[in-house]
Amino acid sequence: MSTATRTVAESLKDKIAARTANVGILGLGYVGLPLALLFSEERFPVTGFDVDPKKVDTLARGQSYIVRIEAQQIQQAAARGFHATGDFSRISEMDAVVICVPTPLDEYREPDMSYIVATAETIAPHLRPGQLVVLESTTYPGTTEDVLVPILEKGNKLGLKAVRAGNETGSFYVAFSPEREDPGNMEVARRDIPKVVGGLETNATDLAAALYGSIFRRTVGVSSPAAAEMTKLLENIYRCVNIALVNELKLLCLRMGIDIWEVIEAAKTKPFGFQAFFPGPGLGGHCIPVDPYYLSWKAKEYDFQTRFIELAGDVNTAMPYHVVQSVAKALNQRKKALNGSKVLVLGVAYKKDIDDLRESPSLTIIELLHKEGAEVRYNDPYFAFVGKGRKYDLQMKNTPLENLGQYDCVLIVTDHSDYDYRRIVRESQLVVDTRNATKGIDSPNIVRC
């Protein structure tokens, strides 16, 4: 390593240690905004960047657009200097730039790199020597090195190159550090979640570790961005496969007349070799329904078929259809047809107690119910209105939990803690429960599926 390169890296590390490094967070969604607040709490000068003027304006007014983040937190951060902007020319003022943009799948279940590409193209003209650029967006192994870095190098005005092993004369540092957000998790503090970091070379890894080590209690360095990218995929594929397994066992247990929830509770008493996963109406959120397909897509480049991943995806994707079939069967047993029946769906968020619709199975279930001719309404304390998204167009208003007896079926899809399930069962003609939310309630009106 050249003396100049060491001096630049050590200078940035000193600024991080002194909390004087300017930190820019690109993408102020469910990952980026909490991260920006963590840096602000540690007294870093933090600037948030977003292309959505509504988010920038909301933050400028000291308000929050994420339920689990209170307005007071935004106001406290603003008092410490945090602010948001849509002016990306200010990237040049940052010492560290952290990219937290979406990485969805397209209609063919292939990676949609458009957000990363657009962000990299926006950053590139404003790069300057000595900066650290970190990608947090979940993606396939090789994205940082094969997609992000070439755009940054090609697009900057100064002809800057990333510092690499064997080419320490580069001017800026690049690393990957996967986000590990778990919305709604109140048991593990965000700071207590270890942060994996992998740089293009050792200085980049060390700088990323120093940056995240200032806000997380532990960092875990790996040998490369690709290893860090694969780490994130392994975590989510592990969950996806095990959820698919328990979903499939649920379907079998229903046929056998066995309560899968009772079985899981008994199995998890084993103090070793077993981790409990729970069945549901399908997968939701940005990670688990999406990330496995990133690796399946990349594996084809190596003439490799990821059979477990693809099978798990098939099982989980089929669960909303199972739910609709269960509703139809339950209504049929009461001499009613699904076509024309009034169905109230409880919960449209992808999991309990959060305001996140991404990939929610509720949206698919509502659309399937509509196709079968049902009259569908929904209730969710976190959503007054559900309009149009990447994969849905519902244009529905939240329905109050009143006069439940008017519905032929009340369908529990998301088990929010706010719901009074005993009252719901008592006042409803039929309750179809996909989450075991009515556990401990004995009523002939309940069908668990």
For 147-185, write each residue's pLDDT tens digit: 999 999 999 989 999 999 877 778 999 999 999 988 778
Shared-domain flag, residues 13 and 92: yes
Cβ neighbours of 121 (radius 10 Å): 13
Residues of the chain whose pLDDT is less than 50? 1
- Same structural domain, 311 and 170: no
The boundaries of the domain holding residue 131 are 3-226
Evaluate whether residue 272 is within a structural domain: no
Q: Indicate whether 313 and 193 sit together in one domain.
A: no
Q: Is residue 233 part of a domain?
A: no
Tell me if 146 is assigned to some domain. yes
Residue 241 within a domain: no
Is there a single domain that holds both residue 200 and residue 301? no
CB atoms within 10 A of CB 72: 10
What 381-389 contacts at long range (C-beta under 8 Å, 24+ apart), as own/partner pairs, is: 381/416, 381/418, 382/67, 382/349, 382/354, 382/355, 382/416, 383/348, 383/349, 383/355, 383/357, 386/348, 386/357, 389/357, 389/363
Same domain membership, residue 26 and residue 147? yes
pLDDT digits (tens, 9 = 90+) for 100-111: 999 988 878 889
Do 118 and 34 fall within a single domain?
yes
As given in the structure block, the two tokens for residue 30 are: 């469910």
- Report the number of secondary-structure helices (H) and strands (E) in the chain: 14, 15
The reported pLDDT for the residue numbered 6 is 63
- Is residue 285 a contact partner of residue 356, using CB atoms and an 8 Å limit? yes
Residues 184, 331 within the same domain: no
Predicted local confidence at residue 5, as pLDDT: 55
> Is residue 174 situated within a structural domain?
yes
Is residue 202 included in any domain, yes or no? Answer: yes
Please tell me the distance from the alpha carbon of residue 198 to that of residue 70, in angstroms, as a whole number: 32
Both 72 and 180 in a single domain? yes
Specify the CATH number for the domain of residue 423.
3.40.50.720
Q: Residue 277 and residue 264: Cα distance in Å, rounded?
A: 8
Residue 251 forms part of a structural domain: no
Number of domains observed in the structure of the chain: 2
What's the rounded Cα separation, in Å, for the pair 309 and 301? 16
Decide: helix, strand or coil at residue 196. strand
Q: Is residue 287 among the annotated active site residues?
A: yes
- What is the DSSP code (8-state) at residue 436? -
CB 138 within 8 A of CB 178: yes
Give the model's pLDDT for residue 2: 52
**Catalytic, out of 100, 240, 253, 287:** 287
Residues 168 and 291 in one domain: no
Ramachandran assignment for 18, one of left (phi > 0), alpha (psi -120 to 50 degrees), beta (any other): alpha
